Amino acid sequence: MHSHSRREFFRLSSSLALAGGLITTVDQQAYAQQKNWAAEMFETLEHDFRTVGRGTKSEFHFALKNKFEEDVHIASVRTSCGCTTPTIAKQVLKTHETGAIIAKFNTDTFVGKKAATVTVVFDRPYYAEVQLKVAGFIRTDITFDPPEVNFGEVSPGGDSEKDVVITHNGNSNWQITDVRSFCNHLQVSLKPAERSPGIVRYRMKVKLLGSMPEGDIRERITIISNDRAFPTTEMSIAGRVRPTLSISPPTVSVGTTRPGQSVDKRLLIRGETPFAIKEVVCGDDRFSFDVPDGKKKLHFVKMKFNADATDDRVGQEIRIVTDLPKNKSATCIVTGTVVR
């Protein structure tokens, strides 16, 4: 399947997607100054950790995606409060690539109500700053062991369980009344409370169901208690469900080419079970593909890019469609430049 719709992204130097249309800008630097183009890449600019226990692992990934032609470079991050430590998951994002600013709430060294502003500094393609806000309350009377439920990498469709010990200090009458989650793919069970003077301990089992979607797991469960002052406490759930189908590399560069030149690349498609490739979907007829026959767990697809006379930046999604249930597919992004 081919079409001539090659541009799936927006050039900061020429156009911007607004209200469903393209608005041409005359001065690229004026546009960069008058509108914070960098903020448009983030899914959200704020996060509330709510109430968490002392020492629990509390992180939030501020996801962003480069939807522009130019490479985006994150120069640095800084925080207004030591209660939060920011890190950059990936400093350079090419067209369509995704990344994240990871905000870690330092529950082991801070207590009480805390808030921070994380400033993300971009220096390419233009200078910009984006401010991300986090807040939360760190209580000292509750601890979790381990500090986070981390399932690691699990196979798709399989169940997995983790045990957690919840300890409350200071009130022997403290009681967990409910455990809730917005995620339908988690189940929680509690054993009866173990009580001693000034200490209440619960043993909790968290079950990851086989219905959990593929990809990274970043969920949380809410512990509800009879504490009127602080009735809820959060706990992080992390892990990754290994995809039933993946493509490597996820991002391919054909570099800088001239009209008439061609570039050959190879894509590795891996499945949990044997599969056949039904088709390769690409919206740019400068690409051609050599697809192997048969059903197997590993396929190598040869890809060729043939540069034409068009001065153009390449930012093309390639989708490999298989005969797995529901025509399961995997995608990668190809970037590059054609110059005369």
Residue 5 included in any domain: no
Q: Does some domain include residue 3?
A: no
**Residue 20: Cβ within 10 Å count:** 5
Res 28: pLDDT = 53
| Residue 226 sits in the same domain as residue 171 | yes
Q: How many domains does the chain have?
A: 3
**CA 252, CA 65: separation in Å to the nearest integer?**
16
pLDDT of residue 106: 96
Same domain flag for 132 and 156? no
**Distance between CA 62 and CA 69 in Å, rounded?**
21
Residues 25 and 132 both lie in one domain: yes
Q: Which domain holds residue 205?
A: 142-241
DSSP-based three-state secondary structure for 270: strand
Is residue 6, in this structure, part of any structural domain at all? no
pLDDT under 50 in the chain at which residues? 1-10, 13-27
pLDDT in tens, 259-298: 999 999 999 999 999 999 999 999 999 999 999 999 999 9
> Quick one: 113 and 86 in the same domain?
yes
Model confidence pLDDT, tens digit, residues 160-171: 999 999 999 999
Q: Residue with structure tokens 């593909």?
A: 289
One-character DSSP codes across 88-134:
ES-SEE-TT-EEEEEEEE-TTT--EEEEEEEEEEEEESS-EEEEEEE
1 inside domain? no
Instruction: Say if residue 113 is in the same domain as residue 51.
Output: yes
Q: What is the pLDDT of residue 205?
A: 97
Give the Cα separation of 282 and 284 in Å (integer). Answer: 6
Q: Of 139, 171, 206, which residue constitutes the final position of a domain?
A: 139
What is the pLDDT, as a whole number, of residue 29?
56
Judgement on whether residues 187 and 302 belong to the same structural domain of the protein: no
Domain boundary among 124, 139, 154: 139
Among 117, 139, 161, the domain-final residue is 139
**If residue 28 lies in a helix (H) or strand (E), which one and from where to where?**
helix 28-34
Three-point CA angle 206, 151, 275, nearest 5°: 120
Report the C-alpha gap between 56 and 145 in whole angstroms. Answer: 8
The domain that holds 199 is classified in CATH as: 2.60.40.10
Residue 211: helix, strand or coil by DSSP? coil
Q: For residue 338, give the nearest of 260, 283, 284 by alpha carbon.
A: 260
Q: 173 and 227 share a domain?
A: yes
Amino acid letter for position 150: N
CA distance linking residue 331 with residue 281, whole number of Å? 9
Q: Using CA of residue 110, residue 115, residue 121, residue 122, what is the dihedral sign? A: positive
Number of helices (H) and strands (E) in the chain: give both, helices first.
1, 27
Residues 334 and 227 both lie in one domain = no
- Number of residues in the chain: 340
Q: Are residue 188 and residue 120 in the same domain, yes or no?
A: no
Task: Check whether residue 91 and residue 77 sit in a common domain.
Answer: yes
Confirm if 95 and 68 have CB atoms less than 8 A apart: yes
User: What is the C-alpha separation between 308 and 329, in angstroms, rounded?
Assistant: 29
Q: Which two tokens stand for residue 78?
A: 């800084």
Q: What are phi and psi of 3, to 5 degrees?
A: -150, 175
Model confidence, pTM: 0.80
Compute how many other C-beta atoms are within 10 angstroms of the C-beta atom of residue 238: 16
Output the pLDDT for position 25.
34
Cβ(237)–Cβ(212) under 8 Å? no
Pair (79, 165) in one structural domain: no
Task: Please report whether residue 231 resides in a domain.
Answer: yes
Closest of 269, 218, 213 to residue 242, by C-alpha: 213
**Does one domain contain both 28 and 114?**
yes
